[in-house]
C-alpha cells in the first residue's frame, strides 16, 4: 500500500446473484474513483449447514422464513462469473478483490483467478486453516478484525507469520505459530504483507460502538498498516478514520438501499460513494506532514496580520520609551511586540510621529 488511501468499494453480495447488477456496481465504483471492488467467494455447503439460522440484521433485511443457507445459496457467484468480472474490472481500470470463506474458494482466488491480495473477513479471523493456507500463497493479506480482541488478532497473525515462513511445508501447531509471530523474519513478513482493518461487525453499525481510537491501538500494538472497514450509515466515520491514519477504507456499495438482500441497507448509493472518495482525497491532502511551519500561502499574510511596535503618540528624540507612548498595531515588519520590555526606559534615538513603526 502507498501513502495514498486505498479505497475498496465492497460489492460483497449486493449483486444479488446478477452479473448485470455486479457490472453496474463495478461501473459505479470506477466512476467514483475507488481503487478496488470486492466480492465474496464461497461454496455455501462448505461454510454452513442447511439449517443455520440468520443473524438478526439478516432477518430484518430479508425474508425471515428462509434459512441463512437458503439466502446465501442464492448469492453465490459461479467460477466463470469471477473470470468475467475480473476482465470487466480490467477494462474499467479498477482492481478486483474477493473474500474467501472456505478453502476451495481460497484456492480458486489465489491460484486460478490469481488475485494479488486476499481479503479475510472478520468472521474468519479464528479460522486458522484458512489463514494458514492464505499466507502459504505468499500474497498480501488484508485482515478485518471485527469482533476481535488483541489476543485474537495476535493469534491470527501468528498463523499468518508461520504460513509466510513455511509455505505449505512444516508441522503447524499453536507453539509454532507463536514462535513464528515473535521471530524477526515473521515480524518483517507481516509488516510487508499484512494490513489490519478495524471494524464493528453490525449492519448498520451504531456510531457509539465504532471506537475509532482503536486504530492507533492496532498500529501501536502490531506495527502494521491499519485501515477501517465501515458499516455505519453515511460517510462521516470513514473520513474520520482517514484523519486518524487509516491507510485503507472499505465500504459497502449498492445501486439502491431499498433493494432486497442482507447488506443493501448498510451500503452507500452511487452519489454517496463519490462524495466519500472525494472527501477522503481532500482529507488525505490536508493531513500533510508533521512539521509545523508557515505554508507558502501563509507567508504573504504574515506582514499584514502580525503587528509591530509603534508610537502611541508623537515621541521626541531622546524621550524615554514607556508603556504609555508605545503600543502594538498592524502591519508587521517592524520591531515585534516581544521587544517592548527591552525598550522601556531607553531614550528614543530619533523622533516618531503617532503610529510610526519603532525601528
Cell of 346: 531607553
Q: Among all chains, which residue has been given the C-alpha cell 479475510?
A: 120
The C-alpha atoms of residue 298 and residue 67 are separated, in whole angstroms, by: 62
pTM over 0.95: no
Angstrom CA distances, 120 to 127, 246, 330, stand at 10, 17, 60
- Burial class from Cβ neighbours inside 10 Å (0-12, 13-18, 19+) for residue 43 reads middle
**Contacts for 322 with CB less than 8 Å, ≥ 6 apart:** 344, 345
- Position 52 scores a pLDDT of 87
Kindly report the backbone phi and psi dihedral angles of residue 52, in degrees, each rounded to the nearest multiple of 5, phi listed first: -65, 125
153-165 b/e (C-beta count within 10 Å ≥ 16 → b): bbbbbbbbbbbbb
Of the candidates 234, 227, 283, 233, the one whose C-alpha atom is nearest the C-alpha of residue 250 is 227
- Position 64 scores a pLDDT of 86
Residue 356's SS3 state is coil
Task: Tell me the pLDDT tens digit for each residue of 230-277.
Answer: 999 999 999 999 999 999 999 999 999 999 999 999 999 999 999 999
The C-alpha atoms of residue 313 and residue 291 are separated, in whole angstroms, by: 41
Please check whether residue 332 is in contact with residue 300, taking contact to mean a CB–CB distance below 8 angstroms: no
- Position 2 scores a pLDDT of 57
Q: H-helix or E-strand containing 308?
A: strand 308-311
Task: Tell me the pLDDT tens digit for each residue of 32-66.
Answer: 999 999 999 999 999 999 988 888 888 888 888 88
Residue ranges in the chain modelled with pLDDT below 50 = 1
- Position 1 scores a pLDDT of 43
The DSSP annotation for 13-72 comes to TTTTT-HHHHHHHHHHHHHHT-SEEEEEE--HHHH--TTPPPPHHHHHHS-TTS-HHHHH
Amino acid at each position: 500500500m502507498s501513502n495514498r488511501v486505498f479505497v475498496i468499494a465492497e460489492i460483497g453480495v449486493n449483486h444479488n446473484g446478477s452479473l448485470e447488477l455486479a457490472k453496474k456496481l463495478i461501473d459505479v465504483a470506477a466512476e467514483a474513483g475507488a481503487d478496488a471492488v470486492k466480492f465474496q467467494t464461497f461454496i455455501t455447503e462448505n461454510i454452513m449447514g442447511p439449517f443455520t439460522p440468520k443473524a438478526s440484521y439478516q432477518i430484518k433485511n430479508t425474508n425471515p422464513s428462509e434459512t441463512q443457507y437458503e439466502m446465501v445459496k442464492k448469492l453465490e457467484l459461479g467460477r466463470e462469473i469471477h473470470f468475467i468480472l475480473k476482465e470487466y474490472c480490467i477494462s474499467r481500470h479498477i482492481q478486483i478483490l474477493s473474500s474467501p470463506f472456505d478453502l476451495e474458494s481460497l484456492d480458486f482466488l489465489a491460484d486460478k483467478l490469481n488475485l494479488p491480495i486476499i481479503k479475510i473477513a472478520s468472521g474468519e479471523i479464528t479460522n486458522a486453516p484458512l489463514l494458514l493456507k492464505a499466507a502459504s500463497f505468499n500474497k498480501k493479506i488484508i485482515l478485518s478484525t471485527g469482533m476481535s480482541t488483541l489476543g485474537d488478532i495476535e493469534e491470527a497473525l501468528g498463523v499468518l507469520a508461520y504460513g509466510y515462513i513455511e509455505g505449505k511445508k512444516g508441522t503447524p501447531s499453536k507453539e509454532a505459530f507463536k514462535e513464528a509471530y515473535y521471530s524477526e523474519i515473521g515480524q518483517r513478513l507481516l509488516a510487508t504483507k499484512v494490513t489490519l482493518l478495524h471494524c464493528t461487525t453490525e449492519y448498520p453499525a451504531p456510531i457509539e460502538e465504532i471506537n475509532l481510537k482503536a486504530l492507533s491501538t492496532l498500529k501501536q500494538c502490531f506495527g502494521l498498516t491499519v485501515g477501517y472497514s465501515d458499516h455505519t450509515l453515511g460517510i462521516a466515520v470513514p473520513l474520520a478514520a482517514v484523519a486518524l491514519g487509516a491507510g485503507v477504507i472499505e465500504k459497502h456499495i449498492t445501486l439502491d438501499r431499498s433493494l432486497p438482500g442482507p447488506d443493501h441497507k448498510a451500503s452507500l448509493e452511487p452519489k454517496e460513494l463519490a462524495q466519500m472518495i472525494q472527501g477522503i482525497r481532500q482529507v488525505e491532502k490536508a493531513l500533510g506532514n508533521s512539521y509545523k511551519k508557515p505554508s507558502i500561502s501563509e507567508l504573504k499574510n504574515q506582514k499584514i496580520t502580525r503587528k509591530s511596535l509603534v508610537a502611541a503618540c508623537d515621541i521626541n528624540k531622546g524621550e524615554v520609551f514607556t508603556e504609555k507612548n508605545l503600543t502594538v498595531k498592524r502591519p508587521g515588519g517592524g520591531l515585534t511586540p516581544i521587544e517592548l520590555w527591552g525598550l522601556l526606559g531607553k531614550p528614543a534615538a530619533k523622533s516618531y510621529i503617532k503610529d510610526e513603526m519603532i525601528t
